[in-house]
Amino acid sequence: MTTPQTLRELSCADDYDPNSMPVDKARAHIRTFLTPLTATERVHVRAALGRVLAEDIRSPIAVPGHDNSAMDGYAVRFDDLRSDGPVTLKVTGSSFAGKPFGETVSAGEAVRIMTGGALPSGADTVVMQEVTQRPADGAVTIPPLMEAKIRARGGNTRKAGEDLKIGTMALARGTRITPAELGLVASLGISEISVYRKLRVAFFSTGDELRAIGQPLAAGEIYDSNRYTIFGMLQRLHCEVIDMGVVVDRQEAVEKAFAEAAGAADVVITSGGVSVGEADYVKAALDKLGEVLFWKIAMKPGRPLAYGKLGHAHFFGLPGNPVAVMVTFYQFVREALLTLAGQTQVRPLPTLQAVLRSPIKKASGRVEFQRGIFVQDADGGYSVTVTGDQGSAILSSMTQANCFIILDTATGNLPAGETVRVQMFEGIV
Ligand code: AMP
Ligand code: MG
């Protein structure tokens, strides 16, 4: 299959079956339509935490800027040290971090030096203070090389530029800024950097049964929880969120909401209204405003999923059930949002192997994302227990769990003791 350029081409492809869409295939289809945003803004380094770097940063200075000591001890000339006996050198001064020794170390001399202190000219090696003796003021005795734990010239020193040389690519465009990147930028003396603007994501819930928190519930009504999990997941991905509330199950209301959301945001996310029976008017509204594909994904939970474009905005129609919302968000939306936000290295989430401590019920034919409690055993191995009821409406299964247990399509029931694949929640967003 050649890569489709439009959603219409995709839906006409030979092997395209919307009623049985494998997770990987859906993800791959979505990926072909993602064009990262390009607008940038300059922010102070601290404000860049969690943002995506929009420029390559080359090191304007060497880090560190000078050869320096990795230990507290004495800066010496390697040629003064001996392998067959101790030597006593004259201590002529000191070099502390930020307070260099201004002169040269000559033959027979040593300089007291602290970690980070600039290596004085003439010296090329540092002897750690623990192996030395001070026979008198102004003198230091250094044991033979082996005993002094010096293997070669340059021992216990750090070289100028060993972290970053001048002109080295320190950080590449598309890097997500974590605390390490903040520190690295600061180590270069850079106070402002260019980042992509935040991705704008509008979201709303659909359903006549939904009430916003703060309102009383009438018979048959439930509180709208999806808007809160979606809000949380978007916040943790550093998106700009546009919460559009609850939209009732009426064609005009839904149509209006879709049009408004698509005009205001880069991405529109809804929950509910895409399952069989309900999809009709949602589908009609979406057909009018853009091109949207409706899939039945071969996964549980999270079977119905809609994806497409509403004008320039990407659209994700997630299922209504609260666990299905989270699973589909993590499996499809997360990666798409990271890519659209300009991040270049969007890798699949890592999985670990763990031993099942309880049996698992599963039908073959679809991938399941069961909720599990993952623990490290006393012997260092990993094991996992399934949380109770795996229904897609049991949101407490997500709060009790700390991982998904990913069960592949072919897998059926599993007894305790089998090894399964898990994906930790922490780090997913
Ligand atoms: P639907 O896909 O609209 O048929 O919804 C499937 C199930 O998810 C129904 O039980 C809905 O009541 C429930 N649901 C839909 N939206 C939400 C929401 N925002 N918060 C909590 N539950 C919801
Ligand atoms: Mg509904």
Whether the CB-CB separation of 199 and 240 falls below 8 Å is answered with yes
Q: In the predicted model, what is the mean pLDDT of residues 101-112?
A: 98
pLDDT digits (tens, 9 = 90+) for 204-229: 999 999 999 999 999 999 999 999 99
Residue 334 CA to ligand 1 center (angstroms) comes to 21
From the CA of 319, the nearest ligand is: 1
H or E element that contains 8: helix 7-12
From the CA of 321, the nearest ligand is: 1
pLDDT score at 284: 86
Q: How far is CA 169 from CA 60, 166, 172, in A?
A: 10, 9, 7
pLDDT score at 348: 81
pLDDT score at 224: 98
- Return the higher-pLDDT residue of 281 and 142: 142
Q: Can you name the residues that pair with 196 across neighbouring β-strands? A: 40
pLDDT of 196 higher than 80? yes
Identify the burial level of 375 via C-beta atoms within 10 angstroms of its C-beta, where 0-12 means exposed, 13-18 middle and 19 or more buried.
middle
pLDDT score at 275: 82
Helices (H), 14-127: 23-31
Residue 280: which pLDDT band, with cuts at 50, 70 and 90?
A: confident
Q: In the predicted model, what is the mean pLDDT of residues 376-389?
A: 96
pLDDT digits (tens, 9 = 90+) for 224-265: 999 999 999 999 999 999 999 999 999 999 999 999 999 999
- 302 CB under 6 A from ligand 1? no
pLDDT digits (tens, 9 = 90+) for 139-166: 999 999 999 999 999 999 999 999 999 9
Mark 340-363 as b/e (b = at least 16 C-beta within 10 Å): bbbbeebeeeeeeebebeeebebe
Residue 292: which pLDDT band, with cuts at 50, 70 and 90?
A: very high
- 320 CB under 6 A from ligand 1? yes
Q: What is the mean pLDDT of the chain?
A: 95
pLDDT score at 429: 65
Report the C-alpha gap between 49 and 57 in whole angstroms.
16
Residue 2: which pLDDT band, with cuts at 50, 70 and 90?
A: low
| Nearest atom within ligand 1 for CA of residue 227 | 19
CA-based nearest residue to 167, from 66, 65, 61, 64:
61
pTM of the full structure: 0.93
What are the backbone dihedrals phi and psi of residue 79, each rounded to the nearest 5 degrees, phi first? -65, -15
Q: Where are the beta strands (DSSP E) in 118-221?
A: 125-128, 139-142, 157-158, 169-171, 192-196, 200-206, 210-211
Q: Which of 213, 215, 222, 318 most suits a substitution to test ligand 1, by most atoms within 8 Å of the C-beta?
A: 222
